[in-house]
Amino acid sequence: MTKHKLKHSIHMETEYNCGKPIILKFELQNQSDSDCGLLIYDNPLEGEALNFIEIRRKDCIIPYDGRLVKRAEPTKDSYRIIPAGKTIVEKLDLSTSFAIHEPGIYTVTLYTKFLDVISPVNGEIKLPTNKEFQMLTLDPLTTEFKLLSHIKPRPTSGEKARKWERELLQQKNTTLIDRNKSSVITINPKVNQPVPQGIDPDIMKVIEADANARAWISATLLELSEWSQENKNELYVELFGAYSPDNYKVIQDHFNKIKEVLEGIHYYVKPGADCKPDYFAYTYFNSKVVYLCPQFDAAPATGIDSKFGVLIHEWSHAAAQIKDNRYGLNNAKQLAISNPAEAILNADNHEYFVEILADNMLTAPIVWPDGKKAYFFCAGKYYQYDIKKDKVDSGYPLPIEHNWPGLWTDRIDAAVVWPNNKAYFFRDSEYMRYDIASKKVDPGYPLPIEHNWHGLGTDRIDAAVVLTNEVALFFKDYTYMRYDIKMDKVDPPNPFSIINNFPGSWSHSINGMVIWPTNKKAYMFKGWKYLRYDLNKTEVDSGYPLFIKNNWPGLPGYIS
């Protein structure tokens, strides 16, 4: 890497009037003999006072109150070339991001960090193939100014956003779509109502991404609460570094705050008024609104930098006051190794933790009627398992899309094969009927569980299994229900306690259950583990639970 020598300075007026712009002038000189390409993310080269400035009045820090952004992978346009020997100047209005309202002396400290530095080739930026950034940090610079009393203070961008948000809340809008403002999507998970017919597909994708974020945050918290904290967990170490009890509690607290927001009334604005080409989305601290940008539409439904992951990233800002220290998966993993204290405060680390967990958590296991194949779903993909060979078939996983016509393509909660040669798939409050012979979803689906599965309720199903041609079991949280297949309704009295009726098994929230055709044993899956249950003896076989990854060749998972 070429050694670049940069000299920077800042300048401000000695006094400013309250209510007027408060301008900081940033100068950067390239004292190298060669041109320098600098990534403009989160530094003065963006021309906006983002969260790289600290402002104090006496001993009090003025909180940052500007935008918090989820960005796409850098392109050539994300860099600015500073020619050798040249100086550039940027002017930043501090009043847009900091509530500088009280008269007095203010101390401003600028922390300039370039997340990537590239040497241009023939005047052009050539992006690295490994996507690992070469970071450059400049020395902090400090200056002072005096704020004079004058007209009323200027509101920050965060204050403006929250004022608009309060107006939304005063409307007491509990509908899914705000008809008066078509760009505002109002989510109220406590109101179980159908999605309006003819809804814009792009709006529908936001609603689905929000539901996925809510589902996978709950799964994440469940996993964190049940991992053995004395041992290293592969996924935790990968994204948050070496285990420590204090850091572990901080991460749990962050995800609990995100869950709290997602389970209450919250909003999405599409598109946000201040989007830039490389933005997925942005929000503000303590906000109930996330503003979606064009990169969100281009994101996949699941996987890395997915739609639901973008939402988790932004809610980590709004709900848990998480910052952006690094961008990108490789850089997030490197941060976990080099500086766990920063990793647990970095939004991308939180996002990727949940996305990878979702991508490796088996849900909806199902055995096909011929007893030759089983299927396991993970977020937007699935695995085909050869029961006789006891391993995943080559070429898997594959995407659900295009391989299961008509089925949801991003998340399946539960699945079961019915004696009528149909398979039923469940997600949230809906289900689909899949015709095994024609290999596609029957017309007219999805339908609500309520009114179509008598007695099952209106909400999510965790797992389902057919015990005999007459009885099926449906699991949810700590309980399960017996379903009379012939009578097509729940067989009272219900529900039953899982732990009391499946002694030795998990007490709640299993991810799936199947009856294996070769030994007629029940296999129950939860997180990274599974157990084998002897239905005749009504007990868990000795030595279980075990890790899926070590005992089901080809299936994913982590070791905790």
Query: Which token pair is 284?
Result: 């503000």
The total of other beta-carbon atoms located within 10 Å of residue 394's CB is 8
Please classify residue 505 by burial: count the beta carbons closer than 10 Å to its beta carbon, then call 0-12 exposed, 13-18 middle and 19+ buried: buried
How far apart (Å, rounded) are the C-alpha atoms in residues 363 and 357?
A: 12
Residue showing tokens 């600015």: 80
Which residues contact residue 283 at a Cβ distance below 8 angstroms, ignoring those fewer than 6 apart? Answer: 67, 68, 289, 290, 291, 314, 315, 317, 318
Residue showing tokens 């401000």: 12
How far apart (Å, rounded) are the C-alpha atoms in residues 354 and 250?
A: 15
Residue showing tokens 């339908």: 447
**Pairing relation of β-strands 117-118 and 79-82?**
unpaired
- Quick check: is 234 catalytic? no
Cross-strand partners of 472: 466, 483
Alpha helix ranges (H) inside 108-228: 157-170, 201-226
DSSP letter (8 states) at residue 372: S
E runs forming strands in 414-490 = 414-418, 422-427, 430-435, 440-441, 447-448, 463-466, 471-476, 479-484, 489-490
Q: What are phi and psi of 215, to 5 degrees?
A: -65, -45
How far apart (Å, rounded) are the C-alpha atoms in residues 414 and 519?
A: 22
**What DSSP string runs through 266-312?**
EEEESS-TT--TTEEEEE-TT-SEEEE-HHHHHS-SSSTT-HHHHHH
Pick the catalytic residue from 165, 314, 351, 430.
314
- Residue 59 identity: D
Check if the beta carbon of residue 288 is closer than 8 Å to that of residue 273. Answer: no
Among 533, 526, 520, which residue's Cα sits nearest to residue 547? 526
| Rg of the Cα atoms in the chain | 27
DSSP letter (8 states) at residue 323: B
Among 428, 410, 425, which residue's Cα sits nearest to residue 303? 410
Strand (E) or helix (H) holding 497: strand 496-497
User: Which residues are catalytic, by number?
Assistant: 314
